[in-house]
Amino acid sequence: MKQMLKQQLREIKENKYLPYPDTNINQIVAEALQNIGSTDQELRDELIYSTLATWIQKAVISNEQLQKLLNALLDDKHLFFKIGERGTDSVFVRSFSMLLIAPILYVNLDREFLSTEDIDVVKEKSILYLEKEIDLRGHVPSKGWAHSLAHASDTIVHLIPYLAKEEQLIILHRIGKKFRTFDYVFHDEEDERAVNAIIRILDNEIISETEFNVWIDDLASVHYDRYEEAYRLKTNIKTLIRSLFFRCQFSNSTAVKVYLPLIADTLKSLDTYYYTEHI
């Protein structure tokens, strides 16, 4: 079945990811969902995700089908499949389930097929996933992108228009907490993807400067007895703050640029040796 699906999707890819007249849409969606976390990176990333994302955006999949797909993506067999595991292949199921929620949220802004209750469930489960996911690997040799934090950030960007102020603050703190780890050093541009979400929140002008100050102070707090842990922790924090600084610097939004002095001061406080003239 997997090889047959792969061949079908290769043919669809050759057609710019659009179905042929005789394509069984429901069957392809069902089989793709069953294999969404395949360790075959071509099948998972180039074929399943790219095909479904295109079909969602091009309205190949009906609104009713999208609701069913969304419910499946959010369940314990997908978004929360073996949640709590680290270093296993289950992360591909969770991560790509999270990633596929993004285009559904995006098209819903125009098509409005999701109810308030549907959106509430997406918000609750997305925020919970951001908290519970502990497999933070980016690229996995021979298996391709796991990228759980990057994929979560991509979906959060499209979730933000639906979020109240309190929920946006929760998102900020959850992102900060993810980078406050010494178990893994981020090196696959997770920072840039997370900053996409942070910038979207800042540009909304919903949270106050005081609330942002509290967040960045909490993010930049480094207190560990072991040097190795503190070093890795600080590396992750600085990576996120640097990316945030440059994104604000290059932004045309005054709502975003107002945070530049605070971000710069925070970065300097993390490493006065490097950010103070001493030669």
The pLDDT tens digits for 88-143 are 999 999 999 999 999 999 999 999 999 999 999 999 999 999 999 999 999 999 99
**What residue type is assigned to position 150 of the chain?**
A
| Residue 278 pLDDT level (bands cut at 50, 70, 90) | low
Find all residues with CB under 8 Å of 199, minimum gap 6, and list them. Answer: 244, 247, 248, 251, 256
**What residue type is assigned to position 241 of the chain?**
I
**What residue type is assigned to position 176 of the chain?**
G
Q: Are 150 and 112 in contact (CB under 8 A)?
A: no
Q: What is the pLDDT of residues 159-179, one digit of tens each?
A: 999 999 999 999 999 999 999
Q: What is the pLDDT of residues 41-82, one digit of tens each?
A: 999 999 999 999 999 999 999 999 999 999 999 999 999 999
With a cut of 90, say whether residue 34 has pLDDT above it.
yes
Q: What is the pLDDT of residues 207-235, one digit of tens each?
A: 999 999 999 999 999 877 788 888 899 99
What is d(CA 232, CA 182) in angstroms, rounded to the nearest whole number?
5
Question: pTM of this prediction?
Answer: 0.96
SS3 140: strand
DSSP single-letter state for residue 44: I
Res 30: pLDDT: 97
Q: Are 196 and 157 in contact (CB under 8 A)?
A: yes
